Structure 1
Amino acid sequence: MNKRPYLDTMPDENGYFGKFGGAYLPPELEKPFQEIKDAYMRLSKSHHYISELRKIRKHYQGRPTPLYHAKNLSDFIGGGQIYLKREDLNHTGAHKLNHCMAEGLLAKYLGKKKLIAETGAGQHGVALATAAAYFGLECEIHMGEVDIQKEYPNVVRMQILGAKVVPATHGLKTLKEAVDSAFEAYIKDTDTQMFAIGSVVGPHPFPLMVRDFQSIVGIEAKEQFHEMTGNLPDVVAACVGGGSNAMGIFSGFIDDAVDLYGVEPMGKSDKVGDHSASLTYGKEGVMHGFNSIMLTDENGEPAPVHSIASGIDYPSIGPEHAYLSSIGRTKIGTCNDEDAVDAFFKLSQHEGIIPALESAHAVSFAMKYAKQNPHKSILVNLSGRGDKDIDFVVENYSIPTK
């Protein structure tokens, strides 16, 4: 008897990947999240929903995005061969639109009038504002005050697209606080609003839904890589915060003999508050409605976190990532702020591709891996472009000469 594919077996009907996941919700949110789950489970089998989403992918988003052999960078490193899945060329400049268009379509089917969400680096916010404009919905994005200043170009893009940007002014004023703020606003009106979570985190069914919506990345990449080389890559790598871009590309290779590396942000040091490396330093705990691995302080509360990349400075990680790491299917890579900036400039100057600082973490890991493994191929999910980061980088770092 053939073994069922992994994606058909995980999560279970209650949203658990092993012991991770689930839906830890206050009573007032149980019904609306059940509504979202029921609608998704029904529509994911619907020809009309699927065909409409495929049409959007092709004619609006510009999919498939290309796979690119980074020959110049590979030659510069002098080691293994580096390939890039160019999600930076997806409309709006990142992988986020893959699930935002699907969530917007789901909201439309549910008869909702408004999309509400959190954002860190602003890419999810821009993508959701884009989806809202496309589907004729209102949009409200909650964003940490620190991130609003750091990623201001994306704030302007959201506003131009018609979204209301709400600053989160409590705590560290970054991604966790933005999630808190968005949940509080959503609870006030679950009838006309739909919460559109921006990663493979949150209560069930969002880790499942976002993974499924992002799986198009892995499906395309696997076919493209085989067409280019006749083989599969030896390694697939992606940055992880919540982990949507990583689960997207990992899902295409999950049942294959391919090493999967989630690259965590080591920030400034290994001290609490200086990094966002949840799998490396965290422990089991519940936050934002799901059980996973999270960084905690001495009181067991979510710890302060840091990364130069606003989209991955989150004190927990998607429950599926926690599960896959616990069973040894995925491996952990790390990259600190300085190495991410170095990769940002190296890819820009050797390939003419300016990456998002989030994606630069995976590029940095790939550069080191390729140097140490000259006979291997490594595929990186280049999850976003760096337009949003240029001002921050040049204000804080000197541009190196080539």
Structure 2
Amino acid sequence: MKTRIKPDENGFYGEFGGAFVPEMLYNNVNELQNKYQSIIDSKEFQDEFQALLKDYVGRPTPLYFSKNLSAQFGAQIYLKREDLNHTGAHKINNAIGQVLLAKRLNKKRIIAETGAGQHGVATATACALLGLDCTIYMGEIDIQRQKPNVDRMLLMGAKIQPATSGSKTLKDATNEAIRAWIKDPVDTHYVIGSVVGPHPYPDLVAQFQSIISQEIKVQLKEQTGNENPDYVLACLGGGSNAIGAFYHFIDNKKTKLIAIEAGGEGVNSGKTAATIALGKKGIIHGSKTYLIQTNDGQIVEPHSISAGLDYPGIGPIHSYLNDTKKATVVSVTDAEAIQATLDLSRKEGIIPALESAHALAYLSKMTFNLEDVVVVNLSGRGDKDLGTIQKYMNNEQ
């Protein structure tokens, strides 16, 4: 599996990354660091992984040319339809890969964190398929606002462990999952759902998600004669869908990479998850990156209407891409994301996840030429968000 962006031997992308973990987890993390690349590069692994992506997940996902959005924004707008994957989002790409890896490491139990529930559903799905015990850690608030996904996880045999501390959202679910891993490091593999956490997780997840940009290049070549778009847009929370969409374009100067954070109620409102806009360098969940924190280093509780972007940091790869200007990081608000959800639903008959809607919303802030080729990564579908959308609209009336 060829890579375009690799950490150094200590897991750093420039000054970001590393593996800052409790002593109890040294052996686990070292085992992963020493074995993950040789395992996932092996023909046996790749044969099984690629067969499951094709026949079980449903890849390749379509690259859909949107005539309606193209006419609206004055450019050639394509949607990468990750929402059409089995389980409804890009998360299944990584979940299948990591559970296959865990089996080859002789792990008996899988744990994972989830915010929007899509990673939890994907992990529960992979565990049901491959026969491993599964426990999902999820914030108490997210359990309430993502009930359809909770029901799906339970139906597939996963156990749900609520996180009841802090903001009771994604950050706190991640804290609880790490604590559980410390208690049972030998038999347990922690399937991290984004490009966050200690090395090698950012690289591991990025490689599994790189299938997105790999397919975009092939599909654009077929449809336009050119494999490189002018712009790729993706929402940015932890950053797995964004790195998947960016991966094979990072060294291509023609393609501008734009990551869209959750501005919440406004970057300066005190209710936001815009990490690059507000963040300072620090360590969260085992790696050095940008995170929203007070002057004395206390993490500030993030806010987003989208549960999957409700995280106070970003993956170290994205901090590196931002600082080296290989990608541009911007933000849109809750209200703008809701409007983009309504627009796509009514103009294309596609209901996007609220996370993906952040990327769609930024189209209205850009100026294009008619010949510009723009790919928006539609990272998930919005079935899970219908209650949140309805509640928001009722409150606005």
**TM bucket normalised to smaller:** over 0.9
Of 94, 105, 112, which aligns to 2:107?
Answer: 112
Question: Which residue does 1:362 correspond to in 2?
Answer: 359
Provide the TM-score with structure 1 as the length reference: 0.95
Q: Deviations over 1:70-92 (max 9, x none)?
A: 111222x2422211000000110
Taking a change above 3 Å as real, the CA distance of residues 273 and 139 of structure 1, as seen in their structure-2 partners, is farther
**TM-score for the superposition, normalised by structure 2:** 0.96
**Pairing 1:245–2:233 present:** no
Gaps (5+ residues) in structure 1? none
Is 1:279 aligned to 2:279, yes or no? no
Instruction: Report how far residue 271 of structure 1 moved.
Output: 2.9
Q: Take 2:371 and 2:56, find their aligned partners in 1: how far apart are those partners?
A: 38
Answer yes or no: is 1:346 the counterpart of 2:334.
Answer: no
Report whether the alignment pairs 1:264 with 2:265.
Answer: no
What displacement does 1:170 show? 0.5
What is aligned with 1:47?
43
Map of 2:56 onto structure 1:
60
1:83 partnered with 2:78: yes
3-state SS of 2:210 partner: helix
Match of 2:153 among 145, 155, 158: 158
Q: Is the 8 A contact 1:88 1:94 kept in 2?
A: yes
Who is 1:308 aligned against?
A: 305
**Is the 2:198–2:287 contact (alpha carbons within 8 Å) kept by the matching residues of 1?**
yes
Deviation digits for residues 147-188 of structure 1 (CA, Å, limit 9, x no counterpart): 111111111111001110111001110110000011111111
Which residue of the other structure, out of 200, 223, 226, is the alignment partner of 1:228? 223
Secondary structure of 2:137 counterpart: strand
Matches within 5 A, 1:118-137: 118-137=113-132
- 2:194 pairs with one of 177, 192, 199: 199
Give the Å deviation of 1:37: 2.0
Question: Contact 1:272–1:304 at 8 Å: present in 2 too?
Answer: no
Give the Cα separation in 1 of the matches to 2:136 and 2:57. 21
Paired AA for residue 270 in structure 1: V
Does 2:363 align with 1:376?
no
Separation in structure 1 between the aligned mates of residue 148 and residue 275 of structure 2, nearest angstrom? 28
Aligned partners of 1:201 and 1:290 also within 8 Å = yes
2:178 match: 183
- Asked if structure 1 preserves the Cα contact closer than 8 Å seen for 2:267 and 2:277, the reply is no
Structure 1 residue 334, shift from structure 2 partner? 1.3
Contact 1:82–1:366 at 8 Å: present in 2 too?
A: no
SS at match of 2:64: strand
Q: In the aligned structure 1, how far is the partner of 2:256 from the partner of 2:73?
A: 21
Is the CA contact 1:344–1:354 (under 8 Å) kept in the aligned structure 2?
Answer: yes
RMSD: 1.7
What are the ranges of 5 or more consecutive residues in structure 2 without an aligned counterpart? Answer: none
Instruction: Give 2:314's aligned residue.
Output: 317
Alignment length, in residue pairs? 394
Give the drift of 1:392: 1.6
Question: Is 1:36 matched up with 2:69?
Answer: no
For 1:334 and 1:206, locate their aligned partners in 2 and report how far apart those are by CA, in whole Å. 25
Partner deviation per Cα, 1:82-123 (whole Å, 9 max, x = no partner): 110000001100000000000010111111111101100000
Q: Residues 120 and 153 of structure 2 are in contact (CA less than 8 Å); yes or no, is this contact kept in structure 1?
A: yes
For residues 365 and 346 of structure 2, what CA distance do their matches in structure 1 show? 17
CA distance change for structure 1 residues 274 and 217 in 2, over 3 Å: closer, same or farther? Answer: same
